[in-house]
Structure 1
Amino acid sequence: MALSIVYGYTNTSWSMAYHAFTAFDGSTEHLVIQSVRLPRALIAAAVGASLAIAGAILQTLTKNPLASPDILGINAGAGFFVVVSLSLFGFNSSQAFALMAFIGSAVAVFLMFAISSAGREGMTPMKLTLAGAAIAAMFSSFTQGLLVLDEAALDQVLFWLAGSVQGRKLELLQGIIPYLAAGGTLALLLARKLNVLAMGEDVARGLGLKTGLIKLLSALAVVLLAGGSVAVAGPIGFIGIIIPHLAKKWIGTDHRWLLPFSGLLGAILLIAADIGARYVIMPQEVPVGVMTAVIGVPFFIYIARKGIGTK
C-alpha cells in the first residue's frame, strides 16, 4: 500500500507522501497522494482481500479448484445489471453502477444456488459448478447483446467491465465497506463449519452439521464479498482462483487460517497488479483486470492440467 501511494505517473517521493499526511500544503503532489492514490490503495486492498476470501469459500462449497466469482457467473451478473442500468435507464454515475453491480451479483448467486438445489439429489458440487458456468455464459451473452445494440453504452461501460480501481472515490468504498466487513466476518465465523464441510457432505451430516444452512450462509458471505467488490472495482478476474491455492500451499487447509491468509495475499496481489498497470503503457494505464488476467491465465491453465486441490 505504501508503494501504491508513492509511485505512479505523478512524480512523488517518500518524503512527499509523509508530508502529505502530516503537513498538507495543497500542492498537486499532495492532492494526488491524498485524493487519488490513497483511495486507490485502500480500494485495491479491500477488493483483493474480498475476492480471495470469496474464491476460497466457493472452492470449498463446489469442491472445484477452478471455482471463483468470475468463473461461476457472479462478475457476469454484476456486469449485465450495470449495462442494463446504463442502456435502459440511463444511469451513468459511479454510485448507480455500484448499486446495480451489487444487485446483479446477488441475483447471480441466488440463481446459481437455486438451480443447483433443484432435483431429488439437492445441491451437489457438480451441479453447483455447472449452474455457475451456465449463469456466467447467460449473463455474458446478454451483456454482449445489449452492448451491440447500444454503442454509446459500450463506450461508457467498457473500462468498468475490464475491472479497474482507477478514479474510484473513497466515498464509494465507504458505502460498500460495511457489506465487505459483514461478509468477511461471516466467513470467519463459518470457518470451523467449512472445515467439516470440506471433508464431504455425508461426513458433515454424520457429524450433525446442518449442511443446507451452512451453504446458505456461505452463499450470503460470497454475495457480500464478491458483490461488494464488483460494485466498487468492476469484474476483476482470477484473484479468487489464484490466491486460495497459494494460501493452501503455504498455510494449509484449515479455514480458520486459510480465509484470513487468503485475504492478505489477495490484497497484496491486487495492489501489486495495480502498481504494474500504471507502468505498462505509461502515461496511459492498463485496467487492473487486464493485469490480473495476464497473471491468472497461466496459473489457471496450470491448475487445470495438474488438478491442484482435487485430491
Structure 2
Amino acid sequence: MNQLQSGMRGQTKSAPYLFVGFIILAIILGSIGTFVGVKGLHWSNFSDLFNYDESNLLAYKVWEVRLPRVTLAIILGAGLAVAGCLLQGITRNPLSDSEIIGINQGASFFVVLSLVMFGLKDVTVTILIAGFVGAAVGGSLVLILSQSGAYSGTRLLLAGVSITLFMGSLTTGLLILQEDKLSEILYWMAGKLSGANWMDVKLSLLCVVPGTLIILLFARAFNIFSLGEEMAMGLGQNVVRLRRLAFVIVILIVGGAVALAGPIGFVGLIVPHMIRSLVGTDYRLVFPLSALAGINLLLAADISGQWLWYPSDIPVGIITALLGTPFFLYLMRRKMGDG
C-alpha cells in the first residue's frame, strides 16, 4: 500500500486550482461557442434571445443550432478523454487511444456500412447500434491479437495499427462503391459537430454520459490495478472482471461518440498525459480533471474549426488530428528512447 501511495504522488496541491480553472475556461469557451459570431446578435438585442418563438430567427440560431453543438462537444469531450485514461490504464500502454488501436475505425466501418445499407435519413438509432457493434469488433480483434502470446505494449500497438489499417481499407472500399453518397459520408468521417441537434444530445445522455460517470466511480479500483495484475489480485481485486467492465464502458462511450459525431481522435491520447504531468497518477484526480480538460480541448478545437477558414467549417476531427498526430509521434519517440 505504501507503493500505491508513493506511485500516486504528484503536484496534487494544484488540483483544486486546476478544477476551478478548467471549469471557468469551459464556461468561457462554451459562451463563445454559443453566442459569439451569431449574425445579427449584439448587446442591444441580447434580451431577444429569451423571447423564443418560431418567428425569432436569432433565438433559433442560438438555442437550436449553437447550443446543441456546444452541449454535444462538452459531453463527447469529457467522455473521450476519460475513455482514453481508461484505455491507457487497462492496457498499461501510454500510447493507447481509440483512434490508434482500432476502436474508432471499427465503429466507423460499421456505421458507414449501415449508412450504405439503410441510407442517410432517419437512421440515428441504426448508426448508434452500428457504432457500438463496430467499436466492440475493432477493440476485440485488437485485444485478441495483442494477447496471442506474451502481452506487451508494443504488441498491442502493432495489433491496433493493423486493425486500424484493415478497417480503414474496408471503409474506403465501401465509399468507392457508393460515390453518390461519398461527400456527405466523408464529411461525417472527418469527425464533425456541425448539424448537432437536441436528439443527438439526448442519445449521448443514454450512452456517453452514463459510461463517463461509471468510470469516475471506479477511480480507486484503477489505482490498485495500476500497481500490476499480481499485486492487484493479492489485494483482493478481480482483475479480469475489472478489465472486462472497462472494455464495455469504452465501447459504450466511443461507439456512441462515433455514431453521433464521427471518429474524433486523439482527445483520449493528449488529455491523460497532460493531466498526469500536472497532478500525478491518482485516478481519483486524473479521471475528473481529464473530463474537464477534454471538454475544453474539444470546445477549443470546434471553435477553431469554425473560425480558421471562415465561412467554411473545418470538422473538429481534423483539428484534433492536427494536434494529436505530432503528439503521438513525440510520445512514441520518447517511449522508444526510454526502451
TM exceeding 0.5? yes
- Counterpart residue number, 1:101: 131
Q: Report how far residue 102 of structure 1 moved.
A: 2.8
The change in CA–CA distance for 1:57 and 1:34 in structure 2 (over 3 A counts) is same
Which residue of 315, 325, 330 maps to 1:287? 315
Q: Which moved more, 1:95-104 or 1:231-240?
A: 95-104
Instruction: Write the mapping of 1:59-78 to structure 2, written as runs, cut at 5 A.
Output: 59-78=88-107
What is the CA-CA distance between 1:91 and the residue it aligns to? Answer: 4.6
1:301 to 313, 320, 329: 329
* Aligned CA distance change for structure 1 residues 61 and 18 (closer, same or farther; 3 Å): farther
1:176 matched residue in structure 2: 204
CA apart distance, 1:54: 0.5
Map of 2:72 onto structure 1:
43
Q: Which residue of 2 aligns with 1:238?
A: 266
Distance 2:257 2:46 in 1: 27
Instruction: Return the alpha-carbon distance in structure 2 between the equivalents of residues 294 and 15 of structure 1.
Output: 38
Instruction: Tell me which residue corresponds to 2:63.
Output: 34
- Tell me the residue number matched to 2:169: 141
1:16–1:29 Cα contact (<8 Å) kept: no
Q: Is the 8 A contact 1:59 1:68 kept in 2?
A: yes
Query: Structure 1's 31 and 142: CA in aligned 2 closer, same or farther, altered over 3 A?
Result: same
User: 1:4-23 maps to which residues of 2 (within 5 A)?
Assistant: 4-8=33-37, 10-13=39-42, 19-20=48-49, 22-23=50-51
Distance 1:205 1:118, change over 3 A: same
SS state at 1:241 partner: helix
Greater radius of gyration (CA): 2
Deviation (angstroms), 1:15: 6.5
Residues 189 and 263 in structure 2, CA contact (< 8 A), matched pair in contact too? yes
- The runs of 5 or more residues in structure 1 that have no matched partner are none
Superposed CA deviations along residues 72-119 of structure 1, whole A, max 9, x for unmatched, are 111101110122112234354451333322331232223333444555
* Equivalent residue, structure 2, for 1:160: 188
Aligned to 1:226: 254
Alignment of 1:53-132 (within 5 A): 53-93=82-122, 95=124, 96-118=126-148, 125-132=153-160
1:304 Cα shift? 2.1
Do the aligned partners of residues 82 and 16 (structure 1) sit closer, same or farther apart at CA in structure 2, a change above 3 Å counting?
A: farther
Taking the aligned partners of 2:47 and 2:147, their CA distance within structure 1 comes to 53
Which segment drifts farther, 266-275 or 219-228? 219-228
Q: Is the 8 A contact 2:108 2:189 kept in 1?
A: yes
Cα 1:293–1:23 change in 2 (3 A) is same
Q: Distance in 1 between matches of 2:280 and 2:274?
A: 9
In structure 2, what is the Cα distance between the partners aligned to 1:171 and 1:232?
Answer: 10
Contact 2:80 2:267 (8 Å CA) reproduced: yes
CA deviations 1:229-275 (Å, max 9, x no partner) are: 11211101111110001111122211111111101000111011111
* Contact kept in structure 2, 1:48 and 1:239, CA below 8 Å: yes
Query: 1-side partners of 2:47 and 2:135: how far apart?
Result: 38
In structure 2, runs of 5+ residues without a counterpart are: 1-29
Deviations 1:114-167 (A, max 9, x none): 444555x5x654544443333222211111111122212322200000000000
Check whether the contact 2:95–2:157 (CA below 8 A) recurs between aligned residues.
no
Distance 1:214 1:47 in 2: 23
Aligned to 1:276: 304
CA distance in 2 between partners of 1:108 and 1:18 (Å)? 49
**Aligned equivalents of 2:148, 2:236: Cα separation in 1:** 23
Equivalent-residue separation in structure 1 for 2:264 and 2:210 (angstroms): 21
What is the CA–CA distance in structure 1 between the aligned matches of 2:42 and 2:299, rounded to whole Å?
18
Q: Secondary structure at the match of 2:86?
A: helix
Does the aligned pair in 2 maintain the 1:9–1:283 contact within 8 Å?
no
Alignment match, 2:244: 216
State the AA in 1 paired with 2:134: G
Distance 1:89 1:110 in 2: 26
> What amino acid maps onto 1:149 in structure 2?
L
Q: Which residue identity is paired with 2:72?
A: I
Question: 2:193, 2:112 → 1: CA distance?
Answer: 18
